Structure 1
């Protein structure tokens, strides 16, 4: 246990999608119990852990039992109809915790996908390890909407982009409060996506993997963006060590073919070489780190609210972990590997605020530069993407809005039509030649009316709620676009290129 009031100088962070869906995930209970055991014996030990798809209280308590000595504080977050599946474990006590649901999160009609029913959102925790603002870290653990088609054809791209926007605001607000902010989880996005750019630019936080591995792939080698780069298909080792692939790796047993999985079940030793080509491996799990904003200057450095010279958290290590297999079942512990990072507290460079890293831009005194970088003003300006990027988001949002309006009209029309059909069937019962025909008319009309009412509720209530959330998102993006246009107009075309680089700096 840490000494009370003594802030740490290093911070070890772990994020893992546990694949713990009840009744669906295979050998769920022993796998998640082993995940807890591995966290407990990890070296170096983790300080903060974010878990996704830990759906059941049973699995949560099994992990807690294993990690109680190393991570004595934890929170299981409740959300939606079936739960959000989010857990945060910590070496230090929670000062505050909340679950913030995403306003846009899939559609109830897609019940076979389940995103809407699980109530995805952001698990928030304010954790105190010391005194003052420097003694607080705010953790935001999330699991964004899953992609079911490749971008830009994914019908849920608008929802995932809006979710990234939502969590970026939470992270930015934490930084403005003068706290270290961590955003971690399964973001279901590529490093080249709109969602990634929004989080990196609007929070000013860094993607820890891109800090240490700026040449990492922007997707799997079969994605168009990687094919355009003309690089060879990576081996499993390269995909892991250079690209940070946490999902769809050939090293993960849950991605093996049925024959190899059957061999594992029979107790045979099956291994895949790290030199095996890994064309589908990709990075979906991320850790973003943003240092506190604000502060005031003194001769020789910057000081916090208490007059103590400030330091910054620097990314010193990032790796893919949790690659071991279950000792008896021999399967991978999840269908994802973990992403892990180590931060180290170092003295702040004068005049530069925020988390440092290899690919952080150097300080500059130009007006355009100061407009897009973190600064030490008590009221820091947000970082912005080029106005053309916001225009793309607005186009995406408005296209999706038109789709949902059509869906609403169709659902309400179906409800009205079904009401007419039901009334017609009830009238026809009066002239039914015998009871069998009357029963068939009643049965068909009842089923049809149930479907019509369901469609009416979705069209009238859910789609209406979704359209209002889309209007809010549209307004916020339009406001950001106007701010970006004002900056571009004030500082010239040079700002556009600087803003573009700012949006890419955390890749």
Structure 2
């Protein structure tokens, strides 16, 4: 008996702050998203950037009749990891028509830097969340994630972190897929299809891209061209800052990836972008991203082998060496940063000690207050340089080495196979 699965992923852009620090029309858009999930016949849904628990609870209550099972992946705070990223949560949640029997969450070991306040990824701890589902006699692993943003393609200072996240995601999917009939990976990967990180996820995770595998390549439901989901010119939240930054159709960075046992006959009937303009508010989009929907048709066969099928992207023979080069560059930058922060720490300590008895030289209260504030700022900087230079960067180095070691081991294993 054939089973149809309708899967949706959407980066909801729901920062709970006043615009321009937060998301524009957040409340209106959350209500519209909930209404769309209620009336569309989705089987599995993942939303990203649902930062407020109240927003998640609101959506959960609204869609309870059609998507009765749901789970929110909280980002766990670990005080030993640099006041651990994830202060405001992961923002990732899933909704399902079918029973969720188990869950797993893996916080990425690297996720940007806390002092890069202008880039908020560190504060929203990126995770891989997995919901294990049972539908009739099918076991489905539903992975949802959100990878660190790129920000500057020409000078991507976060690229080593993003490659480590891509590697950890692919390893989780590969090692957990053997117990499932089908694994589905969805979310905002912040990677384009020609990027190293995308090829690492697809090749090492043994995944296929639903948009590339779709039968209906001329879907009339597409809200954008070429599956683009971000920086779409027709999206009211897209800011085209300068002619050089204009993208004709946008970027394809939100994905629905999958693999399955060979004993499963599977086709991607359709895969298309959706949830563009809100019908009741035609000048406002559901989000700054478009949604992506895939419709799968699958059934068990009795003749197939009981192994997970493999993707057909770039071979890991070429992907891993390239990824290791990126991580090596991250290790070199890490060494340079540690030297800089240790030198800054020594200079600040010397300056602080040299001012220990200087406060007695000031008679006026105003000067004494300014001097005290200055020494307080020095103390804060000393603490930050020690914590970041000795603790955070040491942990970053170990995470780089762990990922590099794992990749080298896999390379050696493939060569000897």
TM-score tier (shorter): 0.7 to 0.9
Specify whether residues 474 and 339 from structure 1 end up closer, same or farther in structure 2 by C-alpha distance, changes over 3 A only: same
- CA distance in 2 between partners of 1:90 and 1:460 (Å): 44
- Per the alignment, residue 161 of structure 1 pairs with 163
Specify whether residues 19 and 345 from structure 1 end up closer, same or farther in structure 2 by C-alpha distance, changes over 3 A only: same
- Per the alignment, residue 497 of structure 1 pairs with none
- CA distance in 2 between partners of 1:350 and 1:88 (Å): 33
- CA distance in 2 between partners of 1:341 and 1:402 (Å): 41
Specify whether residues 204 and 348 from structure 1 end up closer, same or farther in structure 2 by C-alpha distance, changes over 3 A only: farther
Gap runs ≥5 in structure 1 = 1-6, 217-236, 259-276, 294-309, 357-372, 375-381, 488-507
- Per the alignment, residue 118 of structure 2 pairs with 112
- Per the alignment, residue 420 of structure 1 pairs with 350
Larger gyration radius, structure 1 or structure 2: 1
Listed as ranges, the matches of 1:342-361 within 5 Å are 342-346=295-299, 348=301
Specify whether residues 469 and 127 from structure 1 end up closer, same or farther in structure 2 by C-alpha distance, changes over 3 A only: same
**Deviation digits for residues 248-291 of structure 1, max 9, x if unmatched?**
11221112679xxxxxxxxxxxxxxxxxx961511110001110
7, 12, 15: which one aligns with 2:6 = 12
- CA distance in 2 between partners of 1:389 and 1:11 (Å): 31
Specify whether residues 8 and 25 from structure 1 end up closer, same or farther in structure 2 by C-alpha distance, changes over 3 A only: farther
- CA distance in 2 between partners of 1:285 and 1:480 (Å): 27
- CA distance in 2 between partners of 1:196 and 1:22 (Å): 30
- CA distance in 1 between partners of 2:237 and 2:348 (Å): 45
Instruction: Give the structure-1-normalised TM-score.
Output: 0.73
- Per the alignment, residue 75 of structure 1 pairs with 71
Contact in 2 for aligned 1:96/1:125 (Cα 8 Å): yes
- Per the alignment, residue 248 of structure 1 pairs with 231
- Per the alignment, residue 183 of structure 1 pairs with 185
- CA distance in 1 between partners of 2:96 and 2:222 (Å): 29
**Deviation digits for residues 216-244 of structure 1, max 9, x if unmatched?**
9xxxxxxxxxxxxxxxxxxxx99956510
- CA distance in 1 between partners of 2:170 and 2:268 (Å): 20
- CA distance in 2 between partners of 1:69 and 1:314 (Å): 28
- CA distance in 2 between partners of 1:155 and 1:280 (Å): 26
Contact in 2 for aligned 1:314/1:346 (Cα 8 Å): no
Does residue 1:100 correspond to 2:88, yes or no? no
SS in 2 for 1:444: helix
Listed as ranges, the matches of 1:170-249 within 5 Å are 170-212=172-214, 243-249=226-232
- CA distance in 2 between partners of 1:165 and 1:398 (Å): 15
SS in 1 for 2:357: helix
Give the superposition deviation at 1:46.
0.6
138, 144, 148: which one aligns with 2:147 = 144
Q: How many residues align?
A: 398
Does residue 1:21 correspond to 2:15, yes or no? yes
**Deviation digits for residues 313-359 of structure 1, max 9, x if unmatched?**
22111011112325147311101111100110145595567788xxx
Contact in 2 for aligned 1:291/1:353 (Cα 8 Å): no
Specify whether residues 8 and 60 from structure 1 end up closer, same or farther in structure 2 by C-alpha distance, changes over 3 A only: farther
Give the superposition deviation at 1:169.
1.5
- CA distance in 2 between partners of 1:482 and 1:355 (Å): 22
Instruction: Give the structure-2-normalised TM-score.
Output: 0.88
Contact in 1 for aligned 2:92/2:129 (Cα 8 Å): yes
- Per the alignment, residue 404 of structure 1 pairs with 334
- Per the alignment, residue 55 of structure 1 pairs with 51
282, 286, 291: which one aligns with 2:255 = 286
Specify whether residues 202 and 354 from structure 1 end up closer, same or farther in structure 2 by C-alpha distance, changes over 3 A only: same
SS in 1 for 2:123: helix
Does residue 1:125 correspond to 2:131, yes or no? yes
- Per the alignment, residue 300 of structure 1 pairs with none
- CA distance in 2 between partners of 1:182 and 1:417 (Å): 52
Give the superposition deviation at 1:483.
2.8
Please identify which structure carries the higher strand content: 2
Over aligned residue pairs, what C-alpha RMSD do you find? 2.8
Give the superposition deviation at 1:37.
0.5
SS in 2 for 1:60: helix
Contact in 2 for aligned 1:181/1:292 (Cα 8 Å): no
Give the superposition deviation at 1:8.
6.7
Contact in 2 for aligned 1:422/1:446 (Cα 8 Å): no
Gap runs ≥5 in structure 2 = 76-85
**Deviation digits for residues 399-440 of structure 1, max 9, x if unmatched?**
111111211221122222212211111222234455444433
Give the superposition deviation at 1:202.
1.3
Which stretch shows the higher mean deviation, 335-344 or 453-462? 453-462
SS in 2 for 1:118: coil
- Per the alignment, residue 29 of structure 2 pairs with 31
SS in 2 for 1:25: coil
Contact in 2 for aligned 1:10/1:342 (Cα 8 Å): yes
Specify whether residues 182 and 317 from structure 1 end up closer, same or farther in structure 2 by C-alpha distance, changes over 3 A only: same
